Structure 1
Amino acid sequence: MDLHTANGSTLLQNIDQWRELCEPMPTGISPATSSDKFKSPVQFHAIASIHFLSEESASRKGSTLKVAARYLKTPGIISLGGGLPSPEYFPIEKVRVDVSQPAGHQATANGSLATIEASKGDVRNGRGLYDLEVALNYGQAVGSAQLLRFVTEHTEIVHSPLYSDWQCCLTSGTTYAWDATLRMLCQRGDYILMEEYTFSSAQETALPQGLQIAPVPMDDDGLLPERLDEILCSWDVQARGARKPHVLYMVPTGQNPTGRTQPAARRRAIYAVAQRHDLCIIEDEPYYFLQMPTTTTGAEQESSSSELPSHESFLQSLIPSYLSLDVDGRVLRLDSFSKVLAPGLRVGWIVGAERLVERFTRGCETSNQNPSGVSQIIIYKLLDEQWGHAGYLDWLMQLQQSYRRRRDGMLQACDKYLPREIASWDAPVAGMFHWIRVDWTKHPAVKAGKTPEEIEEAVFHAAVDAGVLVCRGSWFRAGGASIGDNPLFFRTTFAAAGADAISQAISRLGQALRAEYQLDSSV
């Protein structure tokens, strides 16, 4: 295997051989580690812009106690330095979890389930590379070496970063990672750029930090690069009372809330604008693997549930990430296990240029420290020891197909139950959300002078009274902009309910719309 030209498929097929060529896995408590130990070398280095950094982040020093961990690899050393509790006093002796198997994996004694276990002393007794003596103790801010290795390899398999000085750092979920990123990059009073409809929690994280939002218009393919360029070219520091923005936050795939997905050409155009104006792109991508470009019905749907594509064709079908396009080190990717494994595990990771990730890590050392060790060891045992990279891709493909069937069921229900004279929609090609447009200008209350916001509220409560909860589009308006001449939007999700419940919920929404708009309710 040519290590300098290895692509994702090559690494996937030769992962065991690759690991033999890397440094041995550090197995002690809280060992110093980084992605450099596990990734293949590339000669090209990024020129990450450290002038992005806030005063707070630039002033951070390395944690004295964490930095001392590098001495633990000295042969024969006895540590009396760190305040690490003795594992013999941990009351948790063993963790045992039954887990599902991806399609195509060999059945076990429990049928489709497999059992993963972790105990104290597994490493000492040669039963593995990661055990409870390590997982239950303090760890490094980048996360455990064992799970860090997996996400580093996964990043290379899926995204193949173009420059060499990139790093991963495990996080306690994307919400925390976004909060820490804002503290790292922004000063109070700064503007950040966001899609005109944006993830409400992302905005609600930024506002209390004294940040302001500059919304960028979207179309069916997501954020508009020409409008982004226009906003930045015409930025008036005096009128705005703040410097030109240098942070752009986006959910490029299956966007929350609109469900829109930026095609490859759109991403390249936005990246070019970011280069022109020296922007740091925050790529928030929890739905990246839930890309489902076609609708399926009948026999096609039944066939798709039992047949998985090859790993190579699956990887090639994914729209290139901003990380995979980045040549400057200006992209910070927020990745997550929440939507593909379980949100309660509270484990994700960031990927970006070394100089940015190093600053992020320094912030973690004196805040959250690292994700839960119990969550980390469960994920490691599942992904590395039980499934492997190939099995994880199988799981992602299986998940993609499952959500595609739910998406198709919701679209069929909308076709059947929603009044087309006032409601319209586009099929989402990724993610978990379906964005429904409603024409407020046709509401009877318009003649009485009701505003779009009042009509939106009336429709929302009518839906609740009919027995279905949807999200109001105004909750996601970046910068608190009014609805104005825009349509009303309501966000629905096909992730949280089964097929029958989805159909019933859309039926109830249709009834509510017909009642509010005084339409024929015989459908």
Structure 2
Amino acid sequence: MSPPAAVNIDVGVEAVDDNSPTTTPDYLTVLGVDELRAKTVFSGGIAAVGLSDAFKSKSNTKKPMSKDFTYRLTLESRSRQPSPLKLAAQHLSKKGMISLGGGLPSSAYFPFDHVSVGVPRGDLFSESDIHEYAHNVTIGKHDMKEGRSAYDLSVALNYGQGTGSPQMVRWVTEHTEIVHNPPYQDWASVMTVGSTSAFEMCLRSFCNRGDYFIADEYAFCSAIEAGNGLGIKAVGIRMDSEGMIPSHLDEVLSNWDEKARNAAKPFLIYLVPTGQNPTGSTQGAQRRREIYALAQKHDLIFIEDEPYYFLQMDKYVSPNAAASNGNGNGSASPAPKNLDEFLKGLVPSYLSMDVDGRVIRLDSFSKVIAPGSRCGWLTTSSKICERLMRHNEVTVQAPSGFSQAILFKLLDEHWGHGKYLDWLGYIRKEYSARRNIMLEACEKYIPQEVASWTPPAAGMFLWFKLRQDRHPAFGKKSLLEIEQEIFEAVIDQKTLLAKGSWFFAAQEGQHPDLYFRATFAAAEEGAMVEGIRRFGNALRISFGLPGAVKET
């Protein structure tokens, strides 16, 4: 997966691609999972308790313990008590137990006998191949009792624990140890209904109304709005092509004025380190080490939101630049030879370098399986995990039983960890191709005298910086008015991009630059190229450049 030598194109700063290798110990290979499972006891009845400790490798016990960050929790989080009904459900696993306690409906009244889904057969991952050669897997109501599966509808569709089903907790725990191998002993994973919900849960667990949390200067707008609704503001840290700038983070925290801000120094930091939304920036390994060191210096709790982690790509090389060197399009590198090489080619996660237990990593199936599954998981120290699990118990309870059952059937019984990583490699290649198509269209249609961009090294987004000083209304209208004028010009071209101001973290401040965000994830390839052409035409119209075409 080593990227080719960079060829500069005049579209802004080159993306940093610091893929310092991760380390996967021999005992944490994908092929070692079956041996590990043979040594663990698995209980998966109705409302069964599923804790990560039951599914981690024994060598995990040789690691040091995490630090205790429960003192950072809010009164709301510290006050949560275990649900008596959830605790009582653990007795259901006893042989011969007759339950007249909890209000768990009889599965006899679930109007479903089975659910069948068509999934990829072998390595046939394309949409057309899945449609033509789909392998049908079936989830029956009583597969567990009849010895056909470790999970069935009678369990999945009933109430469960705040951890999520043991079947899925086992799978995500194994996956987390294989990919990230947290360097402390007492870590745990809990299922969530997606990362947006998990982040809101973290805000309520660590911040009170009037507090601040730390974010990138331009950040995921739903995260900012989640804070706004709770009366928790974001303080934005300046960014470069690798995302958050460590020196500015240190400056803001070192000089925090509690009286001027009327708020205590923030200790919760929220980042999307890979394929950041909206800028598409990816932090290299050294940048991550620098920010983690500052988290230790200022005693921060770290939320690592990583929906795009596996969509890491090779450096983009312009076909024009490559052709001039006689190399053809050098944007594609050889595929990794095996799964170990694939994993070692990924930028190390914050979780993998977290010696303290201060990182809360949010993972999701939204960008790599389906957003509508509303299923993901978080990983952090077991003490913090327990508090977040209590929050689950009285809010979402757990992800949908249908989602957990279908994902279990696909990921555990049909694919296994190895084939799932093969799938991730496949969609990485697909998104790389889509990114390249958009970038080639940009070079052809976007007027570079007023727009620049950095080829993203991961994710789904391309971030355009526009030269507001070259706009005819510069000095006559505010930046937001110019942004709106350009936005309307783009809409007139029947194309939709996101305005940069939607993502500005410090909503009460003035953002200094003019940006627009495009995604290469949604539209068909031909439509994507046409959308970029229309965006370029809208820029020519709005900036008064030659070559603009008035279209109706």
TM-score (structure 1 length as normaliser) = 0.95
1:336 alignment partner in structure 2: 364
**1:111-510 matched pairs, under 5 angstroms:** 112-295=133-316, 307=335, 309-446=337-474, 449-484=476-511, 486-510=512-536
117 and 306 in structure 1: CA distance in 2 versus 1, 3 angstrom threshold: farther
1:47 alignment partner in structure 2: 67
2:110 alignment partner in structure 1: 90
Q: Kindly provide the CA deviation profile for residues 442-469 of structure 1, in whole angstroms up to 9, marking residues without a partner as x.
A: 011125x112111111001000001110
Q: CA deviation at 1:321?
A: 0.5
242 and 513 in structure 1: CA distance in 2 versus 1, 3 angstrom threshold: same
Aligned AA for 1:39?
K
The correspondence for 2:50, drawn from 30, 33, 38, is 33
Q: CA deviation at 1:100?
A: 2.4
Secondary structure class of the residue paired with 1:444: coil
1:16 alignment partner in structure 2: 34
Q: CA deviation at 1:138?
A: 0.5
Aligned AA for 2:278?
P
> Structure 2: how far apart are the matches of 1:248 and 1:224?
13
More divergent stretch after superposition (149-158 vs 95-104): 95-104
> Structure 2: how far apart are the matches of 1:289 and 1:505?
26
Q: CA deviation at 1:426?
A: 0.6
Q: Kindly provide the CA deviation profile for residues 247-288 of structure 1, in whole angstroms up to 9, marking residues without a partner as x.
A: 000110000000000100000100000101110000010000
Q: CA deviation at 1:123?
A: 0.7
> Structure 2: how far apart are the matches of 1:303 and 1:234?
43
Tell me the percent identity.
47
Secondary structure class of the residue paired with 2:474: helix
More divergent stretch after superposition (79-88 vs 331-340): 79-88
Q: CA deviation at 1:219?
A: 0.9
> Structure 1: how far apart are the matches of 2:548 and 2:458?
33
> Structure 2: how far apart are the matches of 1:495 and 1:129?
35
2:119 alignment partner in structure 1: 99
More divergent stretch after superposition (9-18 vs 387-396): 9-18
270 and 95 in structure 1: CA distance in 2 versus 1, 3 angstrom threshold: same
> Structure 2: how far apart are the matches of 1:387 and 1:244?
46
> Structure 2: how far apart are the matches of 1:502 and 1:147?
36
Aligned AA for 1:469?
L
More divergent stretch after superposition (303-312 vs 495-504): 303-312
Q: CA deviation at 1:68?
A: 1.2
Aligned AA for 1:42?
T
Aligned AA for 2:462?
H
35 and 469 in structure 1: CA distance in 2 versus 1, 3 angstrom threshold: same
> Structure 1: how far apart are the matches of 2:205 and 2:234?
17
Q: CA deviation at 1:27?
A: 2.4
More divergent stretch after superposition (376-385 vs 183-192): 183-192
> Structure 2: how far apart are the matches of 1:474 and 1:6?
41
Q: CA deviation at 1:380?
A: 0.4
Q: CA deviation at 1:164?
A: 1.0
Q: CA deviation at 1:11?
A: 2.9
> Structure 2: how far apart are the matches of 1:8 and 1:224?
35
Given that 2:360 and 2:378 are in contact with CA atoms closer than 8 Å, whether structure 1 keeps it comes out as yes
Aligned AA for 1:463?
V
Q: CA deviation at 1:232?
A: 0.9
Aligned AA for 1:279?
L
505 and 108 in structure 1: CA distance in 2 versus 1, 3 angstrom threshold: closer
> Structure 2: how far apart are the matches of 1:256 and 1:52?
27
Q: CA deviation at 1:110?
A: 7.7
> Structure 2: how far apart are the matches of 1:109 and 1:328?
43
Q: Kindly provide the CA deviation profile for residues 278-329 of structure 1, in whole angstroms up to 9, marking residues without a partner as x.
A: 1000001000000003226789879969955410111001111110010111
Q: CA deviation at 1:349?
A: 0.4
Secondary structure class of the residue paired with 1:491: strand
482 and 56 in structure 1: CA distance in 2 versus 1, 3 angstrom threshold: closer
Q: CA deviation at 1:348?
A: 0.5
Q: CA deviation at 1:390?
A: 0.5
Given that 1:139 and 1:370 are in contact with CA atoms closer than 8 Å, whether structure 2 keeps it comes out as yes
> Structure 2: how far apart are the matches of 1:172 and 1:22?
27
221 and 154 in structure 1: CA distance in 2 versus 1, 3 angstrom threshold: same
Secondary structure class of the residue paired with 1:351: strand
Q: Kindly provide the CA deviation profile for residues 193-222 of structure 1, in whole angstroms up to 9, marking residues without a partner as x.
A: 111000000000011111122111111111
RMSD (Å) for aligned C-alpha atoms = 2.2
Q: CA deviation at 1:189?
A: 1.0
Higher RCO structure, 1 or 2 (CA under 8 Å, sep 6+):
2
Q: Kindly provide the CA deviation profile for residues 104-147 of structure 1, in whole angstroms up to 9, marking residues without a partner as x.
A: 78x99985421111011111111110000001100111111111
110 and 266 in structure 1: CA distance in 2 versus 1, 3 angstrom threshold: closer
302 and 131 in structure 1: CA distance in 2 versus 1, 3 angstrom threshold: farther
Secondary structure class of the residue paired with 1:496: coil
Q: CA deviation at 1:53?
A: 0.2
Aligned residue pairs: how many?
Answer: 516
> Structure 2: how far apart are the matches of 1:479 and 1:279?
19
Aligned AA for 1:201?
S
Q: Unaligned regions of 5+ residues in structure 1, if any? A: none
Aligned AA for 2:545?
L
Given that 2:316 and 2:331 are in contact with CA atoms closer than 8 Å, whether structure 1 keeps it comes out as no
Q: CA deviation at 1:487?
A: 2.8
Instruction: Establish whether residue 516 from structure 1 lines up as the match of residue 535 from structure 2.
Output: no
More divergent stretch after superposition (96-105 vs 130-139): 96-105
Q: Kindly provide the CA deviation profile for residues 407-437 of structure 1, in whole angstroms up to 9, marking residues without a partner as x.
A: 0000000000000111111100000000011
Instruction: Establish whether residue 79 from structure 1 lines up as the match of residue 99 from structure 2.
Output: yes
> Structure 2: how far apart are the matches of 1:236 and 1:27?
52
506 and 83 in structure 1: CA distance in 2 versus 1, 3 angstrom threshold: same
